[in-house]
Structure 1
């Protein structure tokens, strides 16, 4: 398989506190890759560095064979941050139009993409409302729609389903699986929810800025002799300590 993303020996500190320590991962094209771990493990810092929003203190990051950060490659990345970066005085539709315009989409394509992403996250009926009137869950859904607006090759989603009701969560995950299978998109999802982790092709478990273990969910359950995925995380932690 060809790698879409290569992270090699990456370390990062903030105010002399190590947040990531010698991280190396490879993510294949068309793979649904899970970064799993508790809050403060370093997952968000790692995805921000892959996007190019943070620079590594040591090591290298390549996305689609380009050294990051790289403005050109940003056109190919859909990024959903953990905290919603939305214009609350605008409507949902105006937010989508604004972000679509950043990618220089033609008017017709823009229209099609807005209809598709709004339908996917179940916001079509709410597009004319100001975002300031949206609930927390609706804002998360709009953020996900924005991440998909330009039909990117790579989707990087930081805790995408936090605050979303179970039924919609299931339909969003089904869409991730479809995007991977039918459109061969590379998708990175960070989560601390173990049943979401099990839906990934491959998982890296992160704690205290280090990778505890990685592999497919099936491999990891077999290796750690675990029936449930949260057992894997606990046993991997014990092995490291």
Structure 2
């Protein structure tokens, strides 16, 4: 990783659910720097979403420390510092897209002309301007994902944390969204994105490959492929995971 300032720092992080005794995350050590796209890649149930919840302060580690901008989490005051897109869409189905956007914009302290400007700008990014006045109940699943991404972008955060943002989105729009994420990265925004789609890995500056709650590799896509004598990230992931079954 470059010498960019640290935005997220996880040290010896573990997450165990006391009710079942299940170990969801084990000994996670990770530093994410300013202005990089960091991808968390792994199958469903590998611990990606739990790790994201720890990074946002929504959940608390059972052991170890999580810091955002050198501030220990969870910390309510840090909620304004990042944009978050959850795996499940937190939208009000009886309201229109515009009404949803106005509500979330007010939570971020956006008002007047600035609020309307940002609503229009972010809806344009996800190609929903023509559906501004449509109730969310009439939205498809893909449209809801796109609106959730627009909401995460509203307050122009310096950190974006996106949990599988392109699920249910068609390939053409997915490509457009990644172009926007790359442009945000180039402007200094830090982006953490989870995915189980292997071809999205190439867009990331670094990847954390996660399996059974453990980071099995953290490096650039090219370095991970080279270190495993593979030709693709998918092949590298399979190679690195073989030790878990031997």
What is the TM-score of this pair, normalised by structure 2? Answer: 0.96
Q: How many residues align?
A: 240
**Residue aligned with 1:198, SS:** helix
Pairing of 1:19-34 with structure 2 (within 5 A): 19-34=24-39
Partner of 1:4: 7
Partner of 1:237: 241
CA distance in 2, matches of 1:240, 1:221: 19
Which of 6, 15, 22 is the matching residue for 1:17?
22
Partner of 2:210: 206
The Cα offsets for residues 60-98 of structure 1, whole Å up to 9 and x where unpaired, read as 000011111112221111000001110000000100100
The Cα offsets for residues 182-217 of structure 1, whole Å up to 9 and x where unpaired, read as x21000000001110111000000011001111000
Partner of 1:48: 53
CA distance in 2, matches of 1:190, 1:5: 15
Query: Quick check: 1:107 aligned with 2:112?
Result: yes
The Cα offsets for residues 154-179 of structure 1, whole Å up to 9 and x where unpaired, read as 00000000000000000000000000
Superposition RMSD on alpha carbons, in Å? 0.8
CA distance in 2, matches of 1:99, 1:93: 10
Pairing of 1:81-230 with structure 2 (within 5 A): 81-181=86-186, 183-230=187-234
Query: How far does residue 5 in structure 1 lie from its aligned partner after superposition?
Result: 0.4
- Runs ≥4 in structure 1, deviation > 2 angstroms? none
**Residue aligned with 1:69, SS:** coil
CA distance in 2, matches of 1:17, 1:147: 31
Query: How far does residue 2 in structure 1 lie from its aligned partner after superposition?
Result: 1.2
Query: How far does residue 240 in structure 1 lie from its aligned partner after superposition?
Result: 4.5
CA distance in 2, matches of 1:30, 1:76: 15
Structure 2: segments with no counterpart, 5+ residues: none
Query: How far does residue 239 in structure 1 lie from its aligned partner after superposition?
Result: 3.7
**Residue aligned with 1:214, SS:** strand
Structure 1: segments with no counterpart, 5+ residues: none
Query: How far does residue 238 in structure 1 lie from its aligned partner after superposition?
Result: 1.4
The Cα offsets for residues 17-69 of structure 1, whole Å up to 9 and x where unpaired, read as 11011111100001100000000000000001110100111000000111111
Contact 1:212-1:240 within 8 A present in 2 as well: no
